[in-house]
Structure 1
Amino acid sequence: MKKSLMLYLFILAILMNVFTYMFYSREVKFGEERYEKTTKKLRDSINLVSAKLAEADYFSLEHNENAQNYFDNSASGGKVILFEKLIPVVTEKLLDFNANPKGNPYTGQDQIGPNKFIINKVKLLNHRWIIADYSNGELWGEVLLKYFVDNDDNITFEVNQTWLYQK
């Protein structure tokens, strides 16, 4: 009886070890598969976001080599204007007009009511065009501007088209 009890306990211990081994080996395999799936999803998401960002930045001075070359006047004896430094300067110069008591003149809108129109966001599209978002707190609009940089680094703006959205 004692021998058969020991045999049953020994068989039970072997079965427990086999089941434990199988459980943990499959758990590791399941964890690895889940990690691979998650990693693949994340890579796909990153690639998708990168593609969308590249598509959205297609019209920007930072990614337009032809527009960047426009500011390289060294071949014609002019001076070189670095577009990396030009972008914040042009943006700041345009936003400085927000301090005007009648509002920013480059929104293309006259003051309506007590609030003045100011420019909120600016994006340089290329070597000649800017698109900007403006508002007076109640009304919102967008404006397409031309900008010019002369040899003395003076920046001038010209309103091309403006659009004011309805309430």
Structure 2
Amino acid sequence: MKKNIFLYLFVFVGLILLYTLVNGNKIQESNAAEIQELMSENKGLKDSLQKETLQRLDMQYFSLENNDDALAYYDHLTLENPTRYIEDKLLETNEEKGDNPLIPYEGMESDFKINKIKVMNHRWIVADFSDGKYWGDIIIKYELKDDMSVDFTLLDHLLYTRSN
């Protein structure tokens, strides 16, 4: 009887070991497949991130912040951020009552005001304006003087028409 108990115990332990071995292999294969899938997804994310980085750099190509030659014009001034200073000066023109004086149109719904600004280099600005319903773009030439004043000159303008 003792021999049978040891035989049954040995067979039972053998079955447990066989089950553990088979189950462990299945888990290992599943984990390996999941790792491969995650690595493939990671590669796709890296490619996407690289593409977005290149797009961002391309969009920043025409900007004062990334143009060392244009920034050299302001070396003699004590400006920490020339772009921000110029944008602020341009936005101050919105504070006048009525339409912004740089916009050659009269607002139809309300007053035309400048919304978005892109300082291209040490001479040009592209800006977006709107009255809440109608909008357009302007190209402005500017000059930052030694006394920190800024002169703005409208070069060109465009008012979009609604297609409704």
Please state which band the TM-score falls in when normalised by the shorter chain. 0.7 to 0.9
Equivalent residues of 1:97, 1:105 under 8 A apart: yes
Name structure 2 gaps, 5 residues minimum.
Answer: none
Matching residue's letter, 2:20? N
List aligned pairs for 1:45-124, cutoff 5 A.
45-72=48-75, 79-82=76-79, 84-109=80-105, 111-124=106-119
Aligned to 1:75: none
Q: In the aligned structure 2, how far is the partner of 1:87 from the partner of 1:15?
A: 71
> Percent of counterpart pairs with the same letter?
28
1:108 offset after TM fit, Å?
2.6
Aligned to 1:12: 15
Q: In the aligned structure 2, how far is the partner of 1:124 from the partner of 1:35?
A: 42
1:43 offset after TM fit, Å?
1.2
Equivalent residues of 2:112, 2:131 under 8 A apart: yes
Q: In the aligned structure 1, how far is the partner of 2:45 from the partner of 2:51?
A: 10
Equivalent residues of 2:126, 2:138 under 8 A apart: yes
Q: In the aligned structure 1, how far is the partner of 2:98 from the partner of 2:132?
A: 14
C-alpha RMSD of the superposition: 2.1
Aligned length: 159
In the alignment, structure 1 residue 151 sits paired with structure 2 residue 146: yes
1:8 offset after TM fit, Å?
5.4
Q: Deviations over 1:91-140 (max 9, x none)?
A: 1111111122221111232x233511000001100000000000011111
Matching residue's letter, 1:38? E
Give TM-score, length-normalised by structure 1. Answer: 0.84
